[in-house]
Amino acid sequence: MAIILGSHRYGKAENRVVRIYRDTARHEIRDVNVSSALKGDFAPAHLEGDQRNVLPTDTQKNMAYAYAKVVGLNTIEDYGLALARHYVDDVPPVEGARIEIEDYPWERVQVDGEGHDHTFVRKGQETRLCSVTVEGIGDAQQTWVTGGFKDLVILKSTGSEFADFYVDEFTTLAPTHDRVMATSLVARWRFTGTDVDWDATYAGIKALMVSRFATLHSLALQQTLFEMGRAVLEAYDVVAEVRLSAPNKHHFLYDLERFGIENHGEVFHADDRPYGLIQAQVTRDDAPDAGPAWDAYTGLV
């Protein structure tokens, strides 16, 4: 029996890069949190403290900011692809690179009914996500891109049931045919390639998911999640797989009958913990192998 080094990687996490486009008086802003992780021939660093193959994480920080200018941040996916390919192509000890990006959307401030040229407020709704993983050199190079969002807090005040469930001796929940259903949705999807209109696809997928959540009469959050994923796969050939993680943010009807007050689905307590947590993957049966696409680094994306 020997003790050996297993899988290992390192990088710079959470570079807070803000890119202003100011070629005209009408500025644009991109605001991201970008992390890079490298795999490769770094065993000597672990085994002997030999850093000769280790590109400092400080250099990776420099790269994240430099490429925001050199490559630009028009789309986070193209920026991420450029960063990942740079490490694999240009830094010999690197065999694989993963870039993870959180993208915080902003919107123009309204002044006299018009969007202002150079003033913005954080939109504050969901955070857009992407990951890019590149492995190998030249013809053997492989690339995986995932997109997604998190923290989209969505609620329907009717059109949701939960009944006819399994009952054992510890089950005390009453079935219901009309409840509030709410979640803080994390949705991620894996692209089949990189020839994608990134921003339009993102906007379309989000709108489709939100619409499906709204219009499906839900017998269970499980059902809603599957239908959201299916809708995306039916509409977007460039998506191979959808992964959803949805906390069931419980809204408990507050008992007002004790005070002689009717409460027909009007007053709720929004509870913090515990919460139901439903996770599901929806996929094409012929989806290409996921490889390292889902091998999360920071836990943020």
Binders of a second copy among residues 31 to 60 (CB under 8 A) are 31, 35, 37, 42, 45-59
The catalytically annotated residue of 27, 57, 150, 194 is: 57
CB of 95 to a second copy, least distance (A): 14
Tokens of 37: 């992780």
d(CA 281, CA 209): 14
d(CA 36, CA 134): 11
d(CA 235, CA 201): 10
Active-site annotation holds for 250:
yes
Among 71, 75, 82, 280, binds a second copy (CB under 8 A): 280
d(CA 87, CA 135): 10
DSSP readout, 181-222?
A: EEEEEEEEEEES-S---HHHHHHHHHHHHHHHHHHSPBS-HH
**For helices 76-90 and 198-215, what crossing angle results, to 10°?**
130
Q: What are φ and ψ of residue 198, in 5° steps?
A: -60, -50
Report the residue number, 95 or 268, with the smaller CB distance to a second copy: 268
CB of 265 to a second copy, least distance (A): 6
Would you give the binding string for a second copy spanning residues 249-268, x where CB under 8 A is met?
A: --x--x-x-xx-xxxxxxxx
d(CA 128, CA 150): 7
The catalytically annotated residue of 61, 86, 250, 251 is: 250
Asked, as a colleague might, if the bond just before 105 is cis with ω within 30 of 0, I would say no
Among 5, 137, 203, 235, binds a second copy (CB under 8 A): 5
For the four alpha carbons of 158, 160, 163 and 168, in that order, the dihedral sign comes to negative
d(CA 62, CA 60): 5
Site for a second copy in 83-122 (CB under 8 A): 90-91, 93, 106, 109-112, 116, 118-122
CB of 195 to a second copy, least distance (A): 19
Contact between 202 and a second copy per CB under 8 A: no
If we measure between CA atoms, which residue out of 174, 185, 236 comes closest to residue 208?
Answer: 236
Q: Which stretch binds a second copy (CB under 8 A): 74-82, 141-149, 191-199, 210-218?
A: 210-218
Among 124, 136, 193, 288, binds a second copy (CB under 8 A): 124
Site for a second copy in 6-35 (CB under 8 A): 6-22, 27, 29, 31, 35
Which run of H or E residues covers position 69? Answer: helix 57-70
Contact between 76 and a second copy per CB under 8 A: no
Among 141, 158, 176, 193, binds a second copy (CB under 8 A): 158
Contact between 288 and a second copy per CB under 8 A: no
Q: How many residues bind a second copy (CB under 8 A)?
A: 145
Report the residue number, 125 or 194, with the smaller CB distance to a second copy: 125
Which run of H or E residues covers position 245? Answer: strand 239-248
Residues in the chain: 301
Report the residue number, 138 or 274, with the smaller CB distance to a second copy: 274
Site for a second copy in 182-201 (CB under 8 A): none
Contact between 291 and a second copy per CB under 8 A: no
Among 79, 144, 189, 226, binds a second copy (CB under 8 A): 226
Active-site annotation holds for 57:
yes
Query: Looking at the annotation, which residues are catalytic?
Result: 12, 57, 250
